[in-house]
Structure 1
Amino acid sequence: MTSPRIAIIGAGIGGLTLAAELRRRGLDPQVYEQAAELREVGAAVALSANSTRFLRDRLGIGADLADKAADVDGLIFRDARDGRTIGRVLSRAEYHDRAGAPYYGVHRADLQLMLRTALGDDAIHLNKRCVDVDDSGQSAIVHFADGDHVEADLVIGADGVRSGLRRKILGYHDAQFSGCFAWRGLVPPEQVPSLPDPEAIQFWLGPGGHMLHYPIGNGTQNFFLVQRHHGPWPAKPWVIPAEEGEHVRAVENWHPAIREMVGAVPAAERWALFHRPPLQHWSSGRITLLGDAAHAMVPHHGQGANQSIEDAIVLADCLIEGLADGTGWDAARQRYQDLRVDRTRRVQITSLAAADVFHLPDGPLADARNARLGAPDFWEKSMAWIHEHVAAPSGTPVRA
């Protein structure tokens, strides 16, 4: 089998990881990105051990991550109003020991630059918005908005939650509003002097909403404040202008440290949280989906980027194995889907359900939730399956 022409649509975290790993292993993937320049989308990203093990051991960017990222010191659940600790999970050292790799908070721009450097700029083509893929001939023809086109043996749709290639495969638009919206922001450490445990990743839980925050490399806190939305959300746009101060009013009865953090920055936009239903098939013809294009999920487990990285590693392994043993690209892509579909579906479902758990009103159900979050076996029963998983063609979630 000859080396394939691989066109990766989208230069996000998943697309760049796949391209860098394929190039490291001797192939020549080309990445086509619609933006005129690579820039971060969103503020920061939390990278758990199920992805950092590969960024460190496969792509060789572990030293850069250690330099630019914050190695978070445990996971803490708190009551959003009085700040009391509901549950505390693993210190930094315990996490490293159990999961086998660090849990990092890093700015997306820093991570993107690391992945771009690992790949090389010669494989990245900007200002290339994919408008169609003609898969009817001897090869796929990828058409771009500027009138250009390329031929490919494989087309990887790594084009995110609003994926055009997913819509091409399905024939319709299937994004679903989760019932929640969010504000986000970055706050320098000197503006949150009241914050307890600033080196940890923390969830503050309250009736009808919650807030997640964690440090990135310079100690800045990245926060994501989530609230319930009553009524339907308009199909477009997914991001709407925020009223002045609305994010501050949303936490007016919360702990002073949260009011301090949220009030430190303006919030010009409110983000609707959408997800996509699990798919039965991730490939059609020569097109295969990866990351959010295949399984967009809400961020309540912080797993969107991490699952994209897992996808990229498994797809790369399957393609390389298909090249080596002659079983073919179709078999390789089917194997990739078989290895990934159940895990990503489970992460999607539990992430979506987490908001219902986090947002419970006061009462017996919230009390039971708090007892569960504070239980000694909470990590083992509820989180280890995500963080300790080692994505590999064997499909076996072995300890690192």
Structure 2
Amino acid sequence: MIDAGAEGPRIAIVGGGIGGLAAGAFLRREGISATVYEQASQLREVGAGLVVAPNTARLLRRLGVLAALAARAVRLDVGWEFRRWRDGAVLSAEDLASACERLYGEHTYTAHRADLLEALRSAVPDGGVRLGSRCVDLTVRGDGRPVLRFADGETVEPDVVIGADGIHSVVRGAITESASATYSGLCAFRALVPSEHAPDFARRAAQTLWIGPGHHLVHYPVSAGRSVNLVAFAPARDDAVESWTATATVEEFLAEFEGWDPRLTALIRAAGTPGRWALLDRAPLRRWSEGAVTLLGDAAHPMFPFFAQGAAQAVEDAAVLARCLADDLDDPPRALRRYERLRIPRTSRLQDASHTRSLVNHLPDGPDQQARDRSFAEADPLVANGWIYAYDPDDALLNTADA
């Protein structure tokens, strides 16, 4: 048991991305202070767009930041709009404008990652984020206290460490079994197109997925409609790397979608320098915590982006973790064990579902593809995925007894 003192445990959050700032924000909501250590010299989110589904929106509302984000985002009227690769024929589409709030109590939005990051930052106390602090090592003393070491030579000995330091997590490597990555055979392209250069169909308040043999592409507007976000998936080249900062050329992007509907290739042609990164496959971890150290977000459960739930699951992690610590401040290791019991089954299910989705989206033309297209026309993905969108951490906590 940790002697946390009268002011509560000293909590260090390693990583100032979406998950780390969400953890800081939800801990503050529970009356618990924490320090976020971020390696960058300024808070910024690389990448481009993301989907803020109802399970994320309700948590942002509880933090008091949803209205500010919504002003910079786009509320979707249409989602799960699947189109055929060659001619753009609509296979199915979901009326989010009328159904989403009725089913789940919140709308679905699309946003630039930087806008979500800023919204979460506004819910973290001033002075709660230390920039330019790159964690290079984590050890645990004989008495169980974690020791963090930073690139500038600083050493910190908190009571609790939350590793929110992404897919290449230093914290994960120190406390849990190796999450060895395997080659998925896929890479992702991403790009932003200024709305004035985008065709009309791409400027709609719609999340559209074009699917075809071995490839698919998703687009939707972000930044209050000022840009259109593109993210596409294709077979990976040997030199692709798992990095948000690697780039490709528009010509390389276009080559992957040669022969697709001309409207889609015109949208790609309007993009600036696209990013490109490899998708590496990782099996779900069996545990996230060791003593007073735990993981959150991509450090715990990196997943393929095919259900657009990576950021959402990090925010959910943060909400559950904060409540578990608030309920058991005198024994953080026990609180962290409860947290991982609550979260691992759900995030593992999403990792598996996201993995399977690529096989469905990338079928070659033929009988299986035709059967899939018929099933899309008959499906209601907004209802079928209710297990994702209806999730409420408060309900999960109420329904799970302490160990």
TM bucket (normalised to shorter chain) is over 0.9
Q: Where in structure 2 are the equivalents of 1:144-183 lying within 5 Å?
A: 144-170=150-176, 172=178, 174-183=180-189
Distance of 1:266 and 1:252 partners within structure 2: 18
- After superposition, give the CA deviation of every residue in 1:180-235 in whole Å (9 maximum; x if it has no partner): 111111112221224267211111101110001111133121110111237x6667
Aligned equivalent of 1:332, options 335, 338, 341: 335
Aligned to 2:30: 25
Q: 1:375 matched to which residue of 2?
A: 378
Residue 201 of structure 2 corresponds to residue 198 of structure 1: no
Aligned to 1:89: 94
Distance 2:229 2:250 in 1: 20
Identify if the C-alpha distance between structure 1 residues 90 and 395 changes in structure 2 by more than 3 Å, giving closer, same or farther.
farther
Counterpart of 1:271 (choices 255, 268, 277) is 277
Which residue of 366, 369, 383 maps to 2:369?
Answer: 366
The CA distance in 2 between the partners of 1:65 and 1:187, in whole Å, is 21
Cα 1:386–1:307 change in 2 (3 A) is: same
Cα offsets for 1:44-75 (capped at 9, x unmatched): 2211111110101x210121022111011121
Structure 2 counterpart SS, 1:224: strand
The CA deviation at 1:26 is 1.2
Give runs of aligned pairs for residues 348-367 of structure 1, distance below 5 A: 348-367=351-370
Are the counterparts in 2 of residues 208 and 359 from structure 1 also a CA contact under 8 Å?
A: yes
Distance in 2 of aligned mates of 1:40 and 1:237: 13
Work out the CA distance in 2 between the residues paired with 1:393 and 1:329: 21
Q: Select which of 211, 221, 233 maps to 1:226.
A: 233
Residue 394 of structure 1 corresponds to: 396
Moved more, 33-42 or 169-178: 169-178
Gap runs ≥5 in structure 2: none
Find the aligned partners of 2:275 and 2:64 in 1 and give their Cα distance.
Answer: 36
Q: Give the TM-score normalised by the residue count of structure 1.
A: 0.92
Cα deviation, residue 241, structure 1: 4.4
Structure 2 residue matching 1:40: 3-state secondary structure: coil
Q: What is the CA distance between 1:242 and its match in structure 2?
A: 2.2
**Which residue of 2 is the match for residue 71 of structure 1?**
75
Report how many aligned residue pairs link the two structures.
391
Q: Give the conservation status (yes or no) of the 8 Å contact 1:318–1:393.
A: no
Q: Contact 2:320–2:393 (CA<8 Å) still a contact in 1? A: yes
Judge conservation of contact 1:135–1:141 (CA < 8 Å) in 2. yes
Structure 1: 5+ residue runs without aligned partners?
Answer: none
**2: CA distance, partners of 1:238 / 1:37:** 17
Q: Which residue of 2 aligns with 1:215?
A: 221
For 1:39, the equivalent position in structure 2 comes to 44
Alpha-carbon distance in 1 for matches of 2:202, 2:301: 35
The residue aligned with 2:326 is 320
Counterpart-to-counterpart distance in 2, 1:238 and 1:365: 34
Pairing partner for 2:64 from 54, 60, 67: 60
The two structures, once aligned, show a CA RMSD in angstroms of 2.1
Task: Note if contact 1:32-1:129 (Cα within 8 Å) is conserved in structure 2.
Answer: yes
